[in-house]
A = this chain, B = another copy of it.
Amino acid sequence: MGRSPDSRPDRSDESGRDRPRATGAVRLSDVAAAAGVASMTVSRALNQPELVSERTRERVQRAVIETGYVPNRVAGALASSRSRMVAVLVPTVAHSLFADVVQSITDALSVNGYQVLLGLTGYQTQDEATVVETVLSRRPDAVVVAGTRHSQATRARLKAARVPVVEIWDMSDDPLDMLIGFSHHAVGRAVADYLLGCGYRRFGQAMADDPRSHERAEGFNDRIMEAQQARPHDGIDVITRWAEIPATLVGGRTAAAAVLLDMPDCEAIVCSSDTLAMGVIAEAQSRAMVVPQTLAVMGFGDMSFAAATWPALSTVRIDGAEIGRLTATHLLNRFDGGEPDSDSDIIDIGFEIVPRQTTLSGAS
C-alpha cells in the first residue's frame, strides 16, 4: 500500500519522534521516545500505573520530568469521552451562600482529579438555558445546577447530555436526577411559626425578587393565613415588598420604607437575605425605631457578619458547605459506577432558625 493506514508514524524507539512538532508542546510520544517505550505505555504509566511494571513506571517518570511533559487532557477527554470536569451553575458567586457551595464542591472534587467549570446563570431563566448549552459543549462529566425550576429547553438539554445532574439549593418532587437542598417553602413556614411564637402579629416582608425568595415568601404567607383563620380577631397580617437583585443594603432600606409606609404598625420584617436585613435595621435606626423592641428583623443565610452586627441578627442558617460535600460525594459515587437510586439521591439537608438579638424571643 502506497499509503499505509498508519498515516501518523509514532516511532517510539530511540531513533526518535518524526512528526514535526505541531504545537510546540511536549507530547506523549516525546516522553515515550525519551523513555524508550510506546506512547501507550506512557499513557498507562500515568493513568493506570498498576498495569505497568515498576521498572517501566520509573523510567517513564524520569522521562516526564526530563521533558517537562504536561498532559493534554483536551485530547485525553476527546479520546476517552471523559473530561474529568464538573460544571457548576449558580446564579452568582458574589454572594457568600453560593460561594460556600462552590468552594466546597471544588475542594472535594479536586482531591479526586476533577475540576470545576464555573457557569454563572444570573437570576434570569433564559440566561440559564444559554449557560447550560455552553457548558454542555465542554462535555462535562456531570452538571451541578442551583435550583429546580428550569425551562423546558434546559431540562431537555440536561437530559440529552446523559450525564449525572445534581440540582442543589432547593427541593422538588420531580428532580432531573439527584437533588440536594432544602425546602424554601418550609423555611418560610418555619420563620412564620417562630415569629408568631415570639408574639408578633403584624409582619412585613422585604424580599429580593428571585424565585427562591418568592417561595419562602409563599411559605411564610401560607402559615400566616392559617394563623389568621385560627385566630381571626388577633389582627394578624402581612404585606410583602420586593427589592431589586442583587440584594443590597440600600435595597433593604427601600423595601423597609415601603413596608412601613403601608403598615406603620408593623412589628417584624422578614428579609430574604442577611444583607437586606442589615438595610432594614439601618432604616429602622434612621427612624429612631429600636430593634427589636419597636421592630423585629429576621434575615436569611447566617452570613459571617450576622452574628457580629449590633444587635446580632436573627436569621436562618443553611449549611452550604454540606451541600457541596454531599454533592461531591454523590457524584464521585456515580463516576465510580454507582447506580441512580431515588431514595438516597434526594436529600433534604434542612435549615436552622438562629434566634439572636433582632427578635424578641419572649414566649407568646
Q: From B2, B96, B117, B275, give the contact of A94 (CB < 8 A).
A: B96
Q: How many angstroms from the CA of A75 to the CA of B83 in the assembled complex? A: 11
Check A102 against B106 for contact (C-beta < 8 Å).
Answer: no
Chain multiplicity (copies): 2
- A306-323 Cβ-contact flags toward B at 8 Å (1 or 0): 011110000000000000
Pick from B74, B81, B107, B160: contact of A83, CB below 8 A. B74
Q: Write out the residue numbers on chain B whose beta carbons fall within 8 Å of the beta carbon of A115.
A: 117-119, 134-135, 138
Q: Are B75 and A102 in contact (CB under 8 A)?
A: no
Residues of B within 8 A of A88 (CB): 118
Q: Is the CB of B139 within 8 A of A120?
A: no
Query: Whole-angstrom distance between the alpha carbons of A248 and B304 in the complex?
Result: 8
Against B, the Cβ 8 Å flags (1 = close, 0 = not) of A128-171 are 00010111111100000000000000001100111000000000
Chain B contacts for A83, CB-based, 8 A: 74
Q: Is A78 an interface residue (CB 8 A)?
A: yes
Q: Which residues of chain B are near A334, meaning CB under 8 Å?
A: none
Contact at B106–A100, with CB atoms within 8 Å? no
What residues on B are CB-neighbors of A303 within 8 Å?
A: 305
The CA-CA distance from A285 to B310 in the complex, in Å, is 11
With an 8 A cutoff between CB atoms, is A116 at the interface? yes
Residues facing B in A73-116 (CB within 8 A) are 73-75, 77-78, 81, 83, 85, 88, 92-96, 99-100, 102-103, 106-107, 110, 113, 115-116
A292 CB to closest chain B CB (Å) equals 14
The docked-state distance in angstroms from the alpha carbon of A278 to that of B68 is 47
If A75-B78, A99-B93, A102-B93 touch, whether A118 touches B120 (CB-CB below 8 Å) is no
Q: Is A227 engaged at the interface, CB distance under 8 Å to the other chain?
A: no
With both chains docked as a complex, state the minimum distance between the C-beta of A127 and any C-beta of chain B, in angstroms: 10
Q: How far is the CA of A96 from the CA of B71 in the complex (A)?
A: 33
Q: Is there contact, CB below 8 Å, between A310 and B308?
A: no
Q: Report Cα–Cα, A72/B79, bound state, in Å.
A: 12
Which residues on B sit within 8 Å (CB–CB) of A156? 68
- The winner among A103, A160, A304 for most chain B CB atoms within 10 A is A304
Is the CB of A1 closer than 8 A to any CB of chain B? yes
| Given A70-B157, A137-B73, A308-B282, A117 and B120 contact (CB-CB distance below 8 Å) | no
A219 at the interface (CB under 8 A from B): no
4 smallest CB-CB distances across A and B, nearest first, come from A305-B305, A278-B308, A94-B103, A310-B310
**In residues 20-55 of chain A, which contact B (Cβ within 8 Å)?**
23-24
Judge if A231 is at the interface, Cβ distance under 8 Å.
Answer: no
Contact of A304 among B3, B102, B249, B285 (CB under 8 A): B249
Cβ of A328 to closest chain B Cβ, rounded Å: 13
Contacts beyond the supplied A88-B118, A94-B99, A116-B118: 9 A-B pairs with Cβ under 8 Å: A74-B74, A74-B77, A75-B78, A102-B118, A106-B120, A249-B307, A281-B308, A305-B305, A305-B308
In the assembled complex, the Cα of A73 lies from the Cα of B93 at a distance in Å of 25
Q: A81-B23, A279-B308 are in contact. Are A120 and B107 (CB under 8 A)?
A: yes
Contacts of A103 in B (CB 8 A): 92-94, 120
